[in-house]
Amino acid sequence: MIYFALAKGRLGDASADLLERCGADVRVLREKTRKLVLESGDKKYGFFLVKPSDVPTYVEAGVADLGIVGKDTLMEEEKDLYEMLDLRLGECSLCLAGFPDRKDVLTNPLLRVATKYVRIAKRMFAERGEEAEIIPLHGSIELAPVTGLADVIFDVVQTGSTLKANGLVVLEEVYAGITARLVANKVSLKTKSEEILPLIARMKEMVI
């Protein structure tokens, strides 16, 4: 059996669709359930349903052989695993965003930046030789500038509707082309290669 770590949430449905197109019986992923461990109907695949940011942890540890996760999370988590395939799902960008009438805010000497991408943000400002106060949050990031907790946010923007609904705009697109990636545990790729490699080949056909 191949064990997958799959992200709950917006990437979850797209991941299930892709696996289905590759011939997996994933009906179980569409059922409304609170169960976190599921098996495909044909018993070929096991699924662990986890928070998106935890997918790399399960794959690095070898608890899951494969995972589907956003490039943003991979950049943030920096785990020791193989990135096998760009699945071209859920395309978004990592952006600095804030109020439209205060575009010069980015030149503030000590910019207050709210984000759930703490490591990426710290690296980015260090590379630029700029100082910033990073304010770690876990969600609803757009609330930070609205309430005065931060000057700007550093977050993923997909449709832009969350920014718009909160009166914010993109001030700078920092990393474009953030998409979902198939990742593999380094040991599993050797020990389960007969099962895993044909599946990866099928996935590759589906995304090209």
Which residues would be at the binding site for ligand PRP (CB under 6 A)? 139-142, 155-162
Give me the torsion for CA of 9, 15, 21, 26, rounded to 10°. -70
- The per-residue b/e assignment along 119-139, b for 16 or more CB within 10 angstroms, e otherwise, is ebbeebbeeeeeebebbebee
Q: Report the nearest approach of ligand PRP to the CB of residue 203 (Å).
A: 24
Q: Report the nearest approach of ligand PRP to the CB of residue 161 (Å).
A: 4
Q: Report the nearest approach of ligand PRP to the CB of residue 60 (Å).
A: 22
Nearer to ligand PRP, 11 or 64 (CB): 11
Nearer to ligand PRP, 45 or 117 (CB): 117
Supply angle C-alpha 75, 191, 61, rounded to 5: 40
> Which residue number has the CB closest to ligand PRP?
139
Nearer to ligand PRP, 5 or 157 (CB): 157
Nearer to ligand PRP, 12 or 160 (CB): 160
Length of the chain in terms of residues written: 208
Q: Report the nearest approach of ligand PRP to the CB of residue 9 (Å).
A: 6
Q: 152: which residues sit within 8 A by CB, 6+ positions away?
A: 96, 97, 98, 105, 106, 111, 112, 113, 114, 145, 171
Which residue from 208, 178, 30 is spatially nearest to 90, judged by alpha carbons?
178
Nearer to ligand PRP, 124 or 156 (CB): 156
Q: Report the nearest approach of ligand PRP to the CB of residue 141 (Å).
A: 5
d(CA 191, CA 68): 20
